[in-house]
Amino acid sequence: MAGNSFGKLFNLTTFGESHGMALGGVIDGCPSGLDIDVEAIQNELDRRKPGQSEIVTQRKEPDTVKFLSGIFEGKTTGTSIGFIIENANQKSKDYSHIKDVYRPSHADYTYDKKYGVRDYRGGGRSSARETVCRVVAGAIAKQLLKDVKIYAYVSSVGDISLNKPLNELDFSLTESNMVRCPDTETAERMIERIKEIRKEGDTIGGTVGCVIKNVPIGLGEPVFDKLHAELGKAMLSINAVKGFEYGSGFEGSKMKGSEHNDIFNADGSTKTNLSGGIQGGISNGMDIYFNVAFKPVATIMQNQETIDNQGHVVEMHGKGRHDPCVVPRAVPIVEAMAALVLADFYLINKLYH
Amino acid sequence: MAGNSFGKLFNLTTFGESHGMALGGVIDGCPSGLDIDVEAIQNELDRRKPGQSEIVTQRKEPDTVKFLSGIFEGKTTGTSIGFIIENANQKSKDYSHIKDVYRPSHADYTYDKKYGVRDYRGGGRSSARETVCRVVAGAIAKQLLKDVKIYAYVSSVGDISLNKPLNELDFSLTESNMVRCPDTETAERMIERIKEIRKEGDTIGGTVGCVIKNVPIGLGEPVFDKLHAELGKAMLSINAVKGFEYGSGFEGSKMKGSEHNDIFNADGSTKTNLSGGIQGGISNGMDIYFNVAFKPVATIMQNQETIDNQGHVVEMHGKGRHDPCVVPRAVPIVEAMAALVLADFYLINKLYH
Amino acid sequence: MAGNSFGKLFNLTTFGESHGMALGGVIDGCPSGLDIDVEAIQNELDRRKPGQSEIVTQRKEPDTVKFLSGIFEGKTTGTSIGFIIENANQKSKDYSHIKDVYRPSHADYTYDKKYGVRDYRGGGRSSARETVCRVVAGAIAKQLLKDVKIYAYVSSVGDISLNKPLNELDFSLTESNMVRCPDTETAERMIERIKEIRKEGDTIGGTVGCVIKNVPIGLGEPVFDKLHAELGKAMLSINAVKGFEYGSGFEGSKMKGSEHNDIFNADGSTKTNLSGGIQGGISNGMDIYFNVAFKPVATIMQNQETIDNQGHVVEMHGKGRHDPCVVPRAVPIVEAMAALVLADFYLINKLYH
Amino acid sequence: MAGNSFGKLFNLTTFGESHGMALGGVIDGCPSGLDIDVEAIQNELDRRKPGQSEIVTQRKEPDTVKFLSGIFEGKTTGTSIGFIIENANQKSKDYSHIKDVYRPSHADYTYDKKYGVRDYRGGGRSSARETVCRVVAGAIAKQLLKDVKIYAYVSSVGDISLNKPLNELDFSLTESNMVRCPDTETAERMIERIKEIRKEGDTIGGTVGCVIKNVPIGLGEPVFDKLHAELGKAMLSINAVKGFEYGSGFEGSKMKGSEHNDIFNADGSTKTNLSGGIQGGISNGMDIYFNVAFKPVATIMQNQETIDNQGHVVEMHGKGRHDPCVVPRAVPIVEAMAALVLADFYLINKLYH
């Protein structure tokens, strides 16, 4: 109810603040007998972790996951899986510059108004550090989904876009460059742009695309819990996300029905896929694809006017080590959230067969 | 779990097929002592109903709501509110042309694959007729929210867009024209376009914008149930929706942090509102605004190739009276879903004070 | 949240007051393709309905169920099943004698304090008339469970108890007498006792036993949602219930471990069954059995002192046609609630295989 | 869904096995700004912990709770509260005697059948060690409820019962003896009985009573989520519980309405309290009281015949240090579960005012 749980059957509940003792979570509803590849989970965490390349924040966090329950002799037991990620350097920082100050376009003001109290150390619960738990659970969801392949990638940085048709993308290239764009030439331009932005002490937005292959037919519940509605919620719940579109998306709103309809092949597949793999809220076996918009990171290394909690106008200057552009590290988070949604619907769908 | 419920505390569960005996629902969690204005509810239904103007479907349905419980002597009692909308003309139609055929870009194929059975009469449960129940519940949510003002409107039809800043829109004009665009000149062009499309036997997509004023600070739960994540899910659950963006949206992904940050005034309001009234998933008291993309209606009055449930390729031709463009009738549905989301968070927020 | 829904996957949401237009409900999550035997459902309603014999209330209600959705050509479609039961004689009664008066040991006082408003016509939502919807949904759950056999029966009326071992009971006799006790001689004494009580203008309590056979192994979720915990909640949610025990029950608390442990046979069955078919919250394939205590009906045909909503002490006298003993009509309700619990766990269990 | 969560608004999700690395949980929905008394929480854990007296298991576990999030500068922040209790001696034991063996009246057989795999070390997830997390969360719930006083106590051991009217009990004596019976003389006889039983290598059942004072009027949701239905579920979810009754309970089923009805005083209180503080599922401000039956512990220090997972009949002999009678340590667990139920309804009730 208070927003720290996701999923109905494959359910993740998380806790933890950016500078508390540890973050962690409980996965409830993971079927028993699943072989858990802990290395693969840690690998996903490494894709998300700070300090991994020169275009992301230079903070150092090992982000090592520790499983406390639910896995026995390498297999899930069907009981709840508890895990924690200890915060390596949660101590002894000086937060006096933000303790009483509301940073522009952060959650400081709204948290204080909602709760009357706030863990002001580096964003507390509103920090994107919270997504570390999503990546752990998403990695287990991926192992449950086995045959399903989820490929997220950076589709734009500022106004530099990846302008290739989806079927020409080679996702084996995504991890070959530090911005995670599966087109080498575009990747280079994106990296260049991020470096410039960082030098300016500024930040920039971007988009993450995602293609999901081998999705079984029948996932998604019609009416309120349509597959794309849950995917949309999942993506919009990631820090800094401003928009979600799937299939033909916003461009589709400009089209005619005669152009937009996906004509069937005899085997039930479709000649085009403007539906984005989902019809009536239910997967139809074609590739699912969607696009997620991220705003520029709010913490900039420039002077900004703002207010404190007494309503005084003050000047502040960003401190610390922050991402100039969030999308490269968002790629594994988008995949994790997609995996959580699919795992949940995969289990729900088993009910009715 | 099976997708027919929406909302946690202000909860709506719906039932009904397009050509069954009746549609209806149960609202659970509406506080007691609320004066119910039944006329205002019926008025919302009339904004959604078929046959209301020459640019929407010419089907005739009175769509009269009948309340069966939960309201006593004009007030809610705190018990569940049951209601039905009888289908006026559910009988005696001939559906033989679609019984065994999968219409392109409809839900026929996916329903059959998921359930092994399907009410083939006019879309059954997958029909947008289902949204009639959302409008009833949304109208009650609006009455609960009193001071909150929700203004949805048509922001584009095909490539004809309303290109005015939000603060220049006069929402009192929205209902003054049949396309529901609050700019008379643009409205005329949109209406013209829809008439052309109808003549071609084709359909066209569009977008619906929504501005919400007087939202209390503090609505929304951080992490997974962010206010915009639930709004996004709500909108994406409406038939034919392909995308959702709020605040700066997809455009925001092209901006720099120094341009995008909303600088505070001393009273906590912000000089700009690229955040769209939501920071960290929680309303900050500024106007909430978002945009929703609708694809063109899949039923067109043209010949199309498709398949039947034996995998034979067949030719089909749309029959019946359908909307050439869905957005004018979608306006009250977008408002209803926004009201449901806000009512739910309004109640959740009361918990913690 | 507001208490009008039951079940997680096989979910029932109900509405309706004793003297409103109709009661009804929505069943969400019933798998598709289930053949629905409407006559069997109506038969369960007839077992519960008023006026069926001389020892129950003489009110007349046909209690005919009308299905509005979710069933097509005799089969469930996987979409939500809406149904209503119209109140035949909801009109024109005189309730002035209870409008402002709080009847002793009814819910009048607590409803008024909780909600500030109350449908005072014959108990409104707090009336046991509400259970009619449970019987409809339970009857469908029974059809889903097919092989499982649920036998409820009256095990005591006042201090007249059925003192036979469970394995000597012949449940084919339960419906052979109007008190629904599967022992003819005891049944006669119970009927006699109820007739005496009615003559006194008084009421009397009793207990309902229930035995469930052919339960698959593995139903129930350990920790909080143990099978017997949900059965207990289900039974305690029925009007007038004061206690629940399963297996050895309260007697078991007096025993030693060496007496109480159920020793296994080689096939996994047990020589004794003090566990009541459930170990660690999970069904073990042995018969489940439990016992439910019902208090005497609060409405008596005698003068009672009470208060009105202004705190004045007043005298009142019961009016209308009420049950002198609730247990005969409670038998199908106990079965229905047991069926709902089992259907839910049956679906949950499918997830993990 | 998989049973490791409890509560709707004040929600606890737990994890952990008896011999895993740690047990723990997440409390979601605790309001912000609550002063947390960590010592009081640890004190509740100490009431539950093994080794505290000579009539309970002699195992040694410090059971120290470590909070990882959600509490900042001594106050709750409104975000999720994560906590763990490390298992002090989880290592290096020899479990070969139970690895393949199904202990009678334990959960070994049902877990294996349900999950196909089982953490066989000392009961794993089915161990009552799991209740340690309930006590942590219950202690926080108690702090939220402030004025409400919850008094659980041992009401019987085997056939030795506390036969005093509730209003003559002095709950300040409960903690004065190691069996936790608020009557010194009865306590001595209970202790004697437990010592005898232990000498026999046997175990014995018992009951725990609970009285709750100062409950606000209006807690509980009618129909399915009645206050006593949730209390019943809560208690039945505790390991070894076989029955629950509240107010007049099973005795009430023998009474007449004219004896059982609670006549009102002018102020809305009642002269008698057979209702047990709950009418129509909603608290009426009178004391709530209920009784919970616990079976004898299944692990006995005697030879027993049983089977292994191949269906071979084998002889086994209990090992380790187990409780001869579970009720003294169950007292704080009953209180914790009662507190969780009340905290949840306390929050739900705030919604509607």
Report the CATH number at residue D209. Answer: 3.60.150.10
d(CA A304, CA A297): 14
Q: Which of B11, B23, B69 sits opposite C20 (nearest CB)?
A: B69
**CB < 8 Å to C352, chain A:** 31-32, 78
CA of B155, closest CA in chain C: separation in Å?
33
Q: Which of A9, A78, A352 sits opposite C78 (nearest CB)?
A: A352
Nearest CA in chain B to C115: B32
Copy the structure tokens of residue A311. 């309503």
Q: Do residues B111 and C46 make contact, with C-beta atoms less than 8 angstroms apart?
A: no
**CB < 8 Å to C347, chain A:** 351
Q: Which of C3, C14, C258 sits opposite D300 (nearest CB)?
A: C258
**pLDDT surpassing 90 at residue B304:** yes
The rounded mean pLDDT for chain B is 95
Per-residue b/e over A29-52, b at no fewer than 16 CB within 10 Å?
bbbbebebeeeebbebbebbbbee
pLDDT at B90: 62
**pLDDT surpassing 70 at residue C93:** no
**pLDDT surpassing 70 at residue D90:** no
d(CA B344, CA A15): 23
Instruction: ipTM value, please give it.
Output: 0.97
Copy the structure tokens of residue A190. 């994106």
What amino acid is encoded at D14 in this protein?
T
- Select the residue from A8, A221, A351 to test the C interface by mutation, using most C Cβ atoms within 10 A: A351
pTM listed for this prediction: 0.98
pLDDT band with cut points at 50, 70 and 90 for residue D41: very high
List helix spans (H) across B160-269.
184-199, 227-236, 249-252, 257-260
Sign of the Cα torsion B136, B138, B143, B149 reads: negative
Q: Do residues A75 and A32 make contact, with C-beta atoms less than 8 angstroms apart?
A: yes
**CB < 8 Å to A346, chain B:** none
C338 alpha-carbon distance from chain centroid: 8
Please name the residue that has the structure tokens 């919850």.
D150
| Mean pLDDT, rounded, for B261-281 | 98
**pLDDT surpassing 90 at residue C78:** yes
A129 alpha-carbon distance from chain centroid: 11
pLDDT at B39: 97
The DSSP letter of residue D166 is G
CA of B205, closest CA in chain C: separation in Å?
28
pLDDT at A212: 98
The DSSP letter of residue C11 is E
Tell me what percent of chain D is helix, strand and coil, each rounded to the nearest 5.
35, 25, 45
B143 alpha-carbon distance from chain centroid: 18
Give the pLDDT confidence of C297-325 residue by residue, as tens digits. Answer: 999 999 999 999 999 999 988 777 789 99
Copy the structure tokens of residue B143. 């009455």
Give the pLDDT confidence of C99-155 residue by residue, as tens digits. Answer: 899 999 999 999 999 999 999 988 899 999 999 999 999 999 999 999 999 999 999
Q: How many domains does chain A contain in total?
A: 1
| Mean pLDDT, rounded, for D155-172 | 97
Closest CA to A132 of A330, A290, A343: A330
* Contact between B124 and C29 using a beta-carbon 8 Å cutoff: no
d(CA B5, CA C80): 10
Closest CA to C339 of C52, C83, C56, C27: C27
Domain assignment of residue B178, given as a range? 5-352
Q: Which of C156, C223, C307 sits opposite D130 (nearest CB)?
A: C223
Give the pLDDT confidence of C52-69 residue by residue, as tens digits. Answer: 998 998 888 899 999 999
* Contact between C222 and D111 using a beta-carbon 8 Å cutoff: yes
What amino acid is encoded at A172 in this protein?
S
**pLDDT surpassing 80 at residue D233:** yes
Give the pLDDT confidence of D307-346 residue by residue, as tens digits. Answer: 999 999 999 887 777 899 999 999 999 999 999 999 999 9
**pLDDT surpassing 60 at residue B316:** yes
pLDDT at D318: 75
CA of D54, closest CA in chain A: separation in Å?
31
**pLDDT surpassing 60 at residue B136:** yes
- C-alpha dist (Å) from residue C24 to B29, D207, D297: 17, 40, 45
Q: What are phi and psi of C86, to 5 degrees?
A: -75, 145
Nearest CA in chain B to D348: B351
pLDDT at C38: 97
Which residues of chain A, if any, have pLDDT below 70? 89-94, 353
Q: Do residues B230 and B8 make contact, with C-beta atoms less than 8 angstroms apart?
A: no
**pLDDT surpassing 80 at residue B32:** yes
Nearest CA in chain B to C20: B69
